[in-house]
Amino acid sequence: MAKSSSKKLQGHAEHTQSAARRGLAGVFKRPIKITMMGAGSGFTPRLLNDVLRIPGQCGGTIGLVDIDTSRLQTMKRLVERLIGKLGVKNWKVIVSTKRREVLPGSDYVVNCIEVSGLECVRHDNDIPLKYGVNQCIGDTIGPGGLFKALRTVPVWLEVLKDAERWCPEALILNYTNPMSMMCLAAGRTSSMSVVGLCHSVQGTSELLARRAEISVGDMEWTCAGINHLAWFVKLRHLGKDLYPFLKKKAREDLAGRPSNPEDAGDLVRKDMMLQFGAFITESSGHLSEYLPYYRTHNDVREKYCRPGYEGGESFYADGWPTWRKDADALRMAMLRGKEPIEWERSWEYASWIIEAREKDSPFRIHGNVMNSTGGGGELITNLPADGCVEVACMIDRNGINPTRYGALPAQMAGLCVSNMSVFDLGATAAIERSKEAAIHALMLDPLTAAVCSPAEIKAMTLELFKAEKAFLPDYR
């Protein structure tokens, strides 16, 4: 998810607040150490609030690492204030701009790093737009997603190398996009136990329950695929298939006759459900970038895309500077007591993974992991074995235990493969610092290939390399 996550996380917690207050059975047997990489991130306050609210925890150390010293010190004050506000004991907060001073002894490393800050967001958006590639978010796939990977993955792999030396038994929880390329590069180069965490499965399951007019706790579902392109293949209530009802409502919305005007948008996902047979996890604006259908010319964008997060042109590039300033202002208001500094425990996965592992109390998440099981099989059998997939995973004291899904319906698998080919070459480009692999990755990108010739794609890619040269050292 690209926009500020706080409102989304609040919604994700609604149906589970009573369970969240109870937590899982058992108590922690030891203090723990959690290191937040990119601690100035908007994720940090809410994720640590979740951890501090785990019943039965017995404290430990919170390590904050960020190269932005101003944000680092602000976050230290904020976390210490949160600890005091919640009245939890036995927690110590340490900070450093140097990760090697903090990583030793970490049990959990939460990765939220951002490489290049605001410096490249306009290049990622405006140079492709000049070539006709119209992006809404542009941070996980397409030209924007690829170049974010090219900047971020090399730094990420250095973090993992340090973790291998200083905390080899730690679980690495990745929140940084582009999720699939980050986890793929990690799976191909690192011995660390890594899982990529998103909240699109939780959010979409609740959304579908609301649209079906049932409680999410009463909905029976299975979901599998890749990050931001995972499919709710099974969706039932009391043994009844929910899709006929949801498809009827979708047809009304697409025809301009919505039964619920407040839920008349999200048209890309609704159309994909009608055409491909199941609902997808990522919201319409972002999803439109993963596909060759909805952003190729003005007429189709006007039909299916809406302003802002639902598909607006340059939404992320235009909004991010303001969101960053607003986040900094909100933190200062919290420190001055002008804004609340505690929240209900959210449905973000990080604290539940920590609780399940420390209490050895099995808990299910949906995580991004390598598709190969290491035993000669694949979690999703009709997707590439050396790719990254998003599947149900069980968490216990053994850590992350992915579950085998089997085969996706062929048309759904085919769309996933089209994206995985981009991620494959994108990860290769970042690992090997290869401009050629980056060019080939964008030649396979569904949206880019729908509007550009191969020669145009090569020219665009080289122009992006030139514009972002300061953040792309050693690319050949």
| Residue 228: Cβ within 10 Å count | 27
What is the structure's pLDDT at 22?
A: 54
What is the structure's pLDDT at 373?
A: 76
Residues 380-392, mean pLDDT to the nearest whole number:
98
Q: To the nearest whole percent, how much of the chain has pLDDT over 70? A: 95
Residues 447-463, mean pLDDT to the nearest whole number:
98
pLDDT above 90 for 416: yes
* Residue closest to 189 by CA, chosen among 197, 181, 198: 181
Show me where the domains of the chain are located. Answer: 6-119+142-198+325-360
* Residue closest to 305 by CA, chosen among 281, 289, 323: 289
Residues 335-364, mean pLDDT to the nearest whole number:
95
Point out the catalytic residue in the list 12, 123, 199, 286: 199
pLDDT above 60 for 2: no
Verify whether residue 199 is a known catalytic residue.
Answer: yes
Mean per-residue pLDDT over the chain, rounded:
94
The residue to which tokens 């990690």 are assigned: 186
Tens-digit pLDDT profile for residues 144-166: 999 999 999 999 999 999 999 99
Dihedral (Cα; 264, 265, 266, 271), 10-degree rounding: 70
pLDDT above 80 for 6: no
- The sign one gets for the Cα dihedral 264, 270, 274, 277 is negative
pLDDT above 70 for 3: no
Tens-digit pLDDT profile for residues 7-64: 333 333 333 434 444 579 999 999 999 999 999 999 999 999 999 999 999 999 999 9
Tell me the DSSP string of 428-451: HHHHHT-HHHHHHHHHH-HHHHHH
Determine the Cα–Cα distance for residues 294 and 285; give it in Å rounded to an integer.
Answer: 10
* Residue closest to 42 by CA, chosen among 90, 74, 17, 15: 74
Q: What are phi and psi of 303, to 5 degrees?
A: -75, -40
Determine the Cα–Cα distance for residues 279 and 293; give it in Å rounded to an integer.
Answer: 16
Q: Which DSSP symbol is given to 53?
A: T
More confident residue, 347 or 174: 174
Determine the Cα–Cα distance for residues 87 and 256; give it in Å rounded to an integer.
Answer: 52
What is the structure's pLDDT at 9?
A: 36
pLDDT above 50 for 328: yes
Q: What are phi and psi of 331, to 5 degrees?
A: -65, -40
- The sign one gets for the Cα dihedral 330, 334, 339, 344 is positive
Determine the Cα–Cα distance for residues 13 and 219; give it in Å rounded to an integer.
Answer: 17
Tens-digit pLDDT profile for residues 87-99: 999 999 999 999 9
Give the CATH H-level superfamily of domain 6-119+142-198+325-360: AglA-like glucosidase (3.90.1820.10)
Determine the Cα–Cα distance for residues 145 and 43; give it in Å rounded to an integer.
Answer: 20
What is the structure's pLDDT at 326?
A: 95
Tens-digit pLDDT profile for residues 63-94: 999 999 999 999 999 999 999 999 999 999 99
Tens-digit pLDDT profile for residues 292-308: 999 999 999 999 999 99
Planar angle of CA 156, 162, 168, nearest 5 degrees:
110
What is the structure's pLDDT at 342?
A: 85
SS3 labels along 176-229:
CCCHHHHHHHHHHHCCCEEEECCCHHHHHHHHHHHHHCCCHHHEEEEEEEECCE
